[in-house]
Structure formats: C-alpha cells, structure tokens
Structure 1
C-alpha cells in the first residue's frame, strides 16, 4: 500500500509542528502517522487515496460518522451563514443545555466550555471552590485531559507530576488510587477525608484499554464522598452519549454524581466541553457565584447547533440501538477469534466502544496497571500496522478506545473481523 504522501507530509510537518502533530497521540503510529484527506460514512481516505474502515471516529466525537445527516448539516450551515460567533448569548445554547439536563439524570444546570480538558479543569476548580478543600482523588490510569491537577504518577502515599512543567505543589493535592480498589479509596478518605474536595473518575476507564467498574465500585465512591462531604465527579468526556445512550454511563450504572464533565459527542465533531451538575453546586460559578470560569468561544453557536442536532437525531432515529448492536457483534466476533488464536488476549468494551487488549495472562483488565502490563509494543508496532495494511484503521495506540458510528455497516464489521483474524 502506497503511503508516500503521508510520509512526505509528516516530513514537512516535523519542521513546523513539534513532533509533526498538534496532539501527541497522533504521532504514535510507526513509522509515521496516516494523513487523512476526507471522511466518508464509516471510512476515511488518506492523502494517498487509500480507503480504510475507520474505528477512530475522531477519537469519539463522530457518533453519526463522517457524513452527517441532512438535518445536522443544514443546522450547521444555517448557523455558519448567520455569522460565525458573537461573544453574546444565543438561544441555541439554552436549547442544548435543556436537552442535556432533560436526559442526564444528575444534571440540572450546564456550563459549556471548549474542550474536555477545559471541562475537567473547570470541574476541579468548582469542586474546590464549593467545598473549600484542595485535594482530589483520581484513578491510576485515568485520563482527564492535559491539566496540572491530574497529570500525576504515583499512589496515595505520594504523587509527582507526570510531565515536566508542572510544579510539585500541584501533585501534592492529588491522590491517585487504583481503579476498582475499594479498600484503597476507603484508605485515602480515612487519611485525607477532611481535605478531599472531590473524587474524579471515568465511569469506565476509556483511555486505558477500556476497563469497566466492578459491581458496586461506583456505589462505594458515591457513599464515601457523601460521608466525607466531598463531591463525586464523573468524567464522561468519552462515555457521555456513547455508553448508556441518552442517560450516559451514569444512567447505565445507576449512580448519580454531583458533577459531570462532557465533551466529544455533544459537539457533533466541533470543539466542545461542558460541566453539568446540581443547581446548588453549579450556581457557584461566576457570575452567579464566585468560582471564576469564562471563555470567548464557550457556547459557540455553530458547535451548539452541531451538537444539539446530533443528539436529537440520535434520539429520534434509534442510533444507539444500531451502534450498540454493531459493537456487540464486533466484541462477540473478536472473542471467538481471540479464543481460537490468542487466548491470553482480552476483548473489552461496552455499547459502541470496543478493543482487544494484548493481556499476558488471559484475564480481563481491572485497572490501569493491568493494561499497562499488556504487550503494548506488539500492539503498537506490529499489530496496528498490519491492520492498516488490511484496510482497517484502529486507534493510535493500545490505550485509546475504538468507536462505532451510525454510518458503520455489517459489511464493515465483517471486513474488520477478517482483518483481525489475519493480523492475530
């Protein structure tokens, strides 16, 4: 398969973009990333006109696929034709917030921002401002964007920044514990309970190979936060309107957090983030309260139109039934292949998320460490390139989720399963 144009573009990019990319994970594929020229339904076409079944889907936002329905396209074009943005409120912001509040169990009010990272930054600041406390408990292997409070390594005995440029003083307020370890969470509260502002957790670790919670785990976090006067914050940037349909993962698991962060799907493919939660907490944000938050592009009318029309279309056209059924078909087929060809590996995922993790001991990963212990280099350097040669593009490394869209078909699934069978 000829990829000379992608190689040449990457060579040019290395001179003007750090690492040749604008987001680190895009440089992960070896020996160079695939440059995309366009999307088409459930596929992408690269700069050399090679066509692939696409399971990256923009790393999650493209619930409807690359060809958005006419209703969504019309809403985007109408908003664009009326002017790109105003720096003043618009009705579409209210409409979008009302839709989210109407469907997500824990959400009464919403503040739109511009990215998942900005959403989690705002949620942490709000939790600290509301409680008057500084410490935040996070999950080892969890991901909450490129923000100083959560880019940490270590455990509850001591955390340190996981990136240069972050002062140690930030990490001193962050307490990492293993996902699915109830005793570790209890111990963290026993030691720091009066100082903990929030537990920040993905309902499913969706940026670490897809790790689901043990039964009762989120209920334990809910009980601990209530007992100690801390907030439970669900990071649903990835799982929001992907897992659990319109109620998101919190509806699927039957646990209501105090705050929820959103991103990806709610922007319909445009940059977006949001924080949602109970009125008494959300009213602490400026200008209603004293916790500062602002943004020139927040509630951007084109993004709001794209996101709202995407969610309305998904609700009215049974999109979740379609993507979840294809996701289950993929996981069932992959289980059969793995059982026959690679019994140590694990098939993971839920609803429209799926992945094969190259585990070494044949058991489902229960935390981030289990995924990190997998054969990461084999997945990244041997398996993924072979799948690309088979005409199937997967996420850029073993840790990122893969996503089904409404534009994918049974034919795409069967082609992908055949490629897995050959590559494994």
Structure 2
C-alpha cells in the first residue's frame, strides 16, 4: 500500500498538534493513516487505500458510516434549523424518553458531551448524594480522562497515573482487581462507611473485553446495598451494543443505581449521558444541589442522531445482524487459533470481538467456550484466560501492536491500535467482510 499522503499529513500535524493527533490512542507507529471518508463498513484513507473497518470510531457507529435515510434526514433537518440555541428542544425529551423506556435501571437522564464528562459527573453525583468521598474502581479499568479514576496501585495504596493530577485525588480512589469478589469484600470491610460508589464497566471494554465471572456483579450489588453505597455501571462502550436496547445491565440482569452512556446514544456525534433512579439523578442542579451544566449538552443534532439511530436499530433487526456476524467472527477466530496459536484467547460478546495474545493455554480446544471467552469454570482454558486488566497486560502486547496490527492493516483490515481496545461489528458489515477479515487473520497470525 502507498501511504505518501498520510505521511505528509502526519508531518504537517506534528507541527500544530501534540504528537500529531487529538487522541493519544491514534498515534500508531511509525505514523497513522489519515481517513478521507467512510463507506458502509469500510474506510478509505488519504491515499485511496480501502479497509474493512472494525474500529467503528471506537464504538459509536452501530450502523456504520452511511447513515440510513431516516437518520440522515433528522440530522440534516436539525442542522438546517440552526446549530444550537442555549434552550431546550423537543428532541432532547424524546431521546430521554427512549432511553428510560428501554434501559431497566434508568428513570431519568442528564445528557452531556462525552463519556468522560458522564463519568466525571456520575462520580460527583454519587459523592453529593451519599455525602462520602471514596470511590472504588477496577485496577486497569478506564473511565475517561478524569482525575478521580486515572490512578494506579492496589486497594488504598494508590497514586495518580498521570502527571498533573494532585496526590489528594488518588487518596479518595480505592482499586480492586476486576473479577475478585474477595478483594471487593476486603475493601468494603475496611472502608465501607466512606465509600460513595463502586464504578465499573459491566464488561471490561478497554482491556481486552473481559467478561465478569459468575456472581461478580451480584457481589458488588450486595456490598453496595449493605453499605449504603451506589453501584455505577460505565456503559459508555457497552450501552446499546451489548444486550441490545437494554444494554449490558439487561443482559446480566443487574440494576445499577447510576449508568453512564456515550458513543452509540449519540449516533456517532459527541455525547455522554448519566441515567439512573429519579431520586438520585434529581440531585443534579437545578432540581438538586450537585452542580452539573454544559453549553453544548443536549445538542439538537446529536440528540436527533442518537434518537433516530436507536429507533432504526429497534425497527430493523440490527442487533440480530451484528450479533450474528460477531459470533461468526469469533467462531472463525477460534478455528484459526486452534490450528495456529492455541495459547491465544478469543474474547467478546454480541458485536464485540478481540484476540488477546495470551502466553499460556492448553493445546486442545475441547470443551472450550465457543465464540468467545465466557469465564466458565468448567472450561479447560478457564485458568489461562484473562480475568482482569492485569492479565491482559501480561499478554504479548508488543507483538500485537508492532507486528500483528501493521500486518492486518497491509491486508486491508483496520483494527483498534493496540491489544486492549475492542473491535466492533456494524450493521453495514457483511458476511463477506467477516470472511475476508478471517483470511487476513489467518495470514497475519
């Protein structure tokens, strides 16, 4: 493939943007390709190279790059009527009504502008509602670029994971490994009266797609109930992708107190949302005292895109299509690994998938989880599959990033840029796309 235009654009970008990008994850080596346009389930770069796109904007594009007519018409109408107003619009109410009608735990919604803003606001809300300061997060979990969760360490021995964050922020953040109920119990035994909330993704989506072990979320729900803490599900990635319109909380039959959303709920435009029980969400100003506000919150173009995207998904069997292709992809990957790399692990569910370059595993796949690791104790690979973000970090992350990702790119398959983030199927993908990608995996692995 020729990448002269992308290289030239990157050279220009380095002069005017730090690292040449506006999000650090895009800074692949030696330089990223620059996208010219999207086309269904594909992207075309500045040099005219075409790729099957499994990044999907890191998750927001459930329908792909081509908006169906009803979505496109709604977006164009709202944009033509005026960019924004600083006043409420009907479409905000309609999208909020759609979300509260379909997501089991959500009675009220506050819309914001990003997943990070949603989790920042949710943490502030939990602290304001409970009158407590401490929050519990999963080690290696990611909840956006916010000071309260950019921490590293174990238990109450935490420190900021980035310069620019005061040590005092980390003092209020407790960490436990995902899928370790004993660690969760221990931290509540020691700090339970001071814990405002547990903040977790229902499925780790930024660290290799790690499923919860059986009963883990029930343990967190019980601990929060016993200690008067709130359970916050970060569904920025899983919301309206895993579990369909009920989201991952519906799939796992767990009702959090607060849920954060992003990505799909805005139909591909910048968005975030905080939803939950009315008595909690009403603590936001102006109904309550917990300050939260934003100039672009509830932007009419974003609200229209999100509403019509979700309506389209509900009316056109989108989830059947993308989940079926997801299973086809994961099953095909299992077959490839059985022949070529039995130590590696296929992970994912619904329309999410990934291959984690784990270092150990039995030679046989007999009795294994089919179409992605489900954390079944009876699976012969159970002791080898990743249980938390730390396990994924121990995988061959450099091989994935330095050798495998470029090899897939040269074969016309666009994957997320490192070992950790998920790949996504969209409604515009076809069985042929999946089969072509599997051939590329077979060659690159």
| TM-score range relative to shorter protein | over 0.9
Q: Spell out the pairing of 1:159-198 with structure 2 (5 A cutoff).
A: 159-198=158-197
Q: CA RMSD in A?
A: 0.5
Q: Spell out the pairing of 1:340-355 with structure 2 (5 A cutoff).
A: 340-355=339-354
Q: Spell out the pairing of 1:9-408 with structure 2 (5 A cutoff).
A: 9-27=9-27, 29-362=28-361, 363-408=384-429
Distance 1:210 1:181 in 2: 16
TM-score scaled to structure 1, two decimals?
0.99
TM-score scaled to structure 2, two decimals?
0.95
Distance 2:360 2:11 in 1: 39
Aligned to 1:415, which of 436, 439, 444? Answer: 436
Question: Deviation at 1:272?
Answer: 0.1
Question: Deviation at 1:157?
Answer: 3.8
Distance 2:157 2:297 in 1: 36
Structure 2 residue runs of 5 or longer lacking an equivalent are 362-383
Structure 1 residue runs of 5 or longer lacking an equivalent are none
CA contact (8 A) 1:380 1:396 kept: yes
CA contact (8 A) 2:156 2:171 kept: no
Distance 2:32 2:25 in 1: 10
CA contact (8 A) 2:156 2:173 kept: no
Give aligned pairs, total. 423
SS in 2 for 1:95: helix
SS in 2 for 1:52: strand
CA contact (8 A) 1:141 1:205 kept: no
Which region of structure 1 is more displaced relative to structure 2, 114-123 or 29-38? 29-38
Q: Would you identify which runs of 4 or more consecutive aligned residues in structure 1 move more than 3 Å?
A: none
Q: Which residue of 2 aligns with 1:6?
A: 6
Distance 1:142 1:312 in 2: 31
Distance 2:274 2:69 in 1: 29
